[in-house]
Each structure stands twice: as structure tokens, then as C-alpha cells.
Amino acid sequence: MSQLPQTLAQKLIARAAGKAAVVPGEIVTCRVDLAMFHDSSGPRRLKPMLEALGASVWDPSRIVLVMDHYVPERDDESRRIVRIAREWARDQALPHVYDSQGICHVVVPQHGHIRPGMFCVGGDSHSPTGGAFGAYMFGIGATEMLGVVVTGEIWLRVPRTIRLQWNGRLPGGVVAKDMMLHAIGRFGMNGGQYQAVEFCGAAVQALSMAERMTMANMSAELGAQAGLIAPDETTLQWLATTGAPPVDITGLYTDAAAAEGPGCETHRFDAAALEPCVAAPHSPANAQGVGRYAGIPVDVAYIGACTGAKLEDLRAAAQVLRGRRVAPGVRLMVAPASLKDQEAARSEGVLQVLLDAGAELFATACGACSGYGETMPADSTVISSTARNFRGRMGPPSVQVYLGSPYTVAASALRGVITDPREVLSP
């Protein structure tokens, strides 16, 4: 280990670059441990480029392909895109293919593919999710992915680190989604542009892996390249349930001297003072305390996506809705993040609670979050657990999408207006 103080981001990049240490601004070439892409970002774009070059895949065992954007197939174009992905996976004999199993950012970690110390890339902007496990993971475009698929390497400029230190303990009804909306509202969507955002502090350490995944995922909404959380016993225990091989996390943290150095800045927050947050149309940066938007009528409540429909998110919604019904005229849509989470919710009785409350169950896929499948009707007002509320993303441009935690979405469905979930949570 280098004697030069290093942030967690620097340590992970140095490891991948085969160097003892790196400094912010330095350009290095890194070995890629894992390349992940899905039906939308992957084979339909990579296949013709590979054929034009006469190139082959560097290591099929290090590629993970997930069909999650255009499934279930609804039209000829969707069928074409998914068919290309399936045929290419078969032709390349890819050993890690997850077809219609759920959203890539949830399915891939659930199968133990992302582990502390790894250097990974993904063909999706929310690929920083992998940073929840102490891996350096970021999203890249099709041309960059072509280079990775052929060579197994990629260059990058070593980023500075922004540490968001959450001290204290979150109150009931307040979760990681609220932490991220608060941060995005404060710093904006370019607040961490090209930098590595590291989440730390007692409140972060107390989070489950699912909640940490939500934080790392939404670092993309801060404009960050990567969102990192130092691995700990919580990480190791979670990985053990996936069948992942043992991993050594020694030294995978930001050195105290590096945290005070010129390549790092720290912002501190009081978790105990945080309230549920809501982001108004048409940007996650339009986030304020839920009281600012309370009382706005909603037509649709959507519990879905990689940031809002994991098992813990479904449990949160069920905690609000148990023994109750959604307000007349409100449509509650539930699209679990993965089949694994859906079946766990079913076995626990969580899914039945949601169905009894009036929820409609949708496919374990990206769905409405990515503007595919059952999108929102024109002129409707939506409260959603997704990460983004850009104009036209979930339906016609006239759709007004507010973002909130699963607690807030469920509470709003219950009352028919945007609601502080603490007002309706059972003690």
C-alpha cells in the first residue's frame, strides 16, 4: 500500500491501473474487472461495430448482459432489439445473462458480480450503483464500451472526491432517497460533475445495502462519475447471501490525511434533522422538504425503478398501506425491481398488502421509468419513486412528475395528494 494518502476513489483507480498511487487530474489506463450492459445499450449497438472492425470480445466471463429495458416485448421494434441481444449472447457464449429478471442495477449485485475493490463500467448512466459495494463503477457510452469489450481496458482522468458526511441517525419515515434528494436540491445536477462522490458518516454506515445502492445510484443525479461507500461488515454479510467469493476489504477507505487534502472536500449533514423530500417537475434538483408540495393532487403513484422498488422499498410502502385503500381516482402502480425482490415480497405478504390496497402489479423491468410500456397519461400528475422526473421521460411532455421515497409515494396514494408519510405511518 502506498504511503501517499489516498481517497477511496484513488485507491480503487490505482489498483486497476497497477500503480501504487494516483493523484487527481492524472490520466491512467485501467484494467476492467466487469463490463455490464443491457438490451438497449448493448448488443444492438456493439454487434455491428464489432463486425465492422472484425474484432472479438476480450473476455466473455467479465461481461454481464441484462434484458431489462425492452421487456416484456410489446411491439416489433422491441422484439427486434431483444432478439439481437439474445442471439448475440448465444453467439458469444456469454455465461452471465439475465433475461427479464429485473433491472440491471439490482440484478447484477444480487448475483454477486460487484464486489469491493473491483473496477467496473456499465452501459447505463446509473451504473455508479456499484459504488455501494466499494467498487469503482461508472457509466460509459457505446463507443467507449466497444473499446472495453475489445481490449478490457479504459482510460480515465483521476477525479477529485467530494465527501458527503451524514452524521447522526435518520428519523422514522426518512430514508436514503430523501438524503439524495436533499443533496441534489442543495448542489444541483452538476454539483459533482466528473468527480467521485463518497458517502460516509454514522447515518450512512447504519444503512442497509439496498439503501446504500439507492445513494450510489443517484450520485448520477449529482453529475458524479462515481458514488462510493467504503465496504464494511454490512457489505460482507450481504455479499455472503449472493454466493460471491470472499473478499479482502483491508485498506478500502479514505485515508484521514487524504480527506483533509487538496483533492478532497467534505460537506456535513445532520441526518436527525432531515425530513422527507420531494422533487418537483422537471428536475431532481427541484427538491425541497415535503411540506413545500404537500396537498398537490396526484393521479398516479408509481413505485418502481432501481431506486424505489427493491424489497425494502416495497416493505416501506406496505407499512403505510397495510389495512388501507388508496384514495378514489388514484392509480397505484407497483413494478418490483427484480424477480427476487418480487418473490420475497410475495412470500412475506408484503405484495399482498399492496394489492389489497389497490395496487396494480407490473413487470420487473425498467418500464415507465425509462418511458417504456405502461407510461403515464397526458396531463396527469404523478408521484414517483424513480430517480428522474425529466419532461417527457415517463410519458407525454404534459405529464408532471414529482419524486419522493416509497414512503412518500405510498402516503400520497393513500390520501390522493402529496403527503408527508410521517403523518400516516403506523407507530
Whether residues 210 and 233 share a domain: the answer is yes
Q: Tens digits of per-residue pLDDT, 224-238?
A: 999 999 999 999 999
Residue 221 belongs to some domain of the structure: yes
Whether residues 42 and 184 share a domain: the answer is yes
Supply the range of the domain harboring residue 348.
280-423
Residue 13 belongs to some domain of the structure: yes
Look at residues 271, 296, 328 and tell me which one is the last residue of a structural domain.
Answer: 271
* 423 band by pLDDT with thresholds 50, 70 and 90: very high
Residue 1 belongs to some domain of the structure: no
* 353 band by pLDDT with thresholds 50, 70 and 90: very high
On the question of pLDDT at 262 being above 50, the answer is: yes
Whether residues 368 and 324 share a domain: the answer is yes
CATH code for the domain in which residue 402 is found: 3.30.499.10
Helix (H) or strand (E) holding 73: none
47 φ, ψ (degrees, to nearest 5) = -55, -55
- Mean pLDDT across 57-70: 97
On the question of pLDDT at 1 being above 50, the answer is: no
Residue 290 belongs to some domain of the structure: yes
Residue 260 belongs to some domain of the structure: yes
Whether residues 69 and 111 share a domain: the answer is yes
Evaluate whether 66 touches 38 at the Cβ level (below 8 Å).
yes
Proportion of the chain above pLDDT 90, given as a percent: 96
* pTM value surpassing 0.75: yes
Whether residues 258 and 285 share a domain: the answer is no
Whether residues 222 and 355 share a domain: the answer is no
Evaluate whether 82 touches 73 at the Cβ level (below 8 Å).
yes
Look at residues 254, 271, 288 and tell me which one is the last residue of a structural domain.
Answer: 271
Evaluate whether 97 touches 125 at the Cβ level (below 8 Å).
no
Look at residues 271, 296, 324 and tell me which one is the last residue of a structural domain.
Answer: 271
Whether residues 91 and 215 share a domain: the answer is yes
Q: If you ran DSSP here, which 8-state letter would residue 376 be given?
A: P
Residue 3 belongs to some domain of the structure: no
> What is the rounded CA–CA span in Å between residue 302 and residue 91?
38
Task: Report, in this order, helix, strand and coil percent for the chain, each rounded to 5.
Answer: 35, 20, 45
Whether residues 199 and 284 share a domain: the answer is no
> What is the rounded CA–CA span in Å between residue 59 and residue 45?
18
Query: Into how many domains does the chain fold?
Result: 2
Residue 2 belongs to some domain of the structure: no
Q: Tens digits of per-residue pLDDT, 303-325?
A: 999 999 999 999 999 999 999 99
Whether residues 266 and 286 share a domain: the answer is no
Q: Tens digits of per-residue pLDDT, 136-151?
A: 999 999 999 999 999 9
pLDDT value of residue 152: 98
Whether residues 151 and 291 share a domain: the answer is no
27 CB burial (10 A radius; 0-12, 13-18, 19+): exposed
Whether residues 42 and 166 share a domain: the answer is yes
* 39 band by pLDDT with thresholds 50, 70 and 90: very high
Helix (H) or strand (E) holding 318: helix 311-321
Whether residues 266 and 308 share a domain: the answer is no
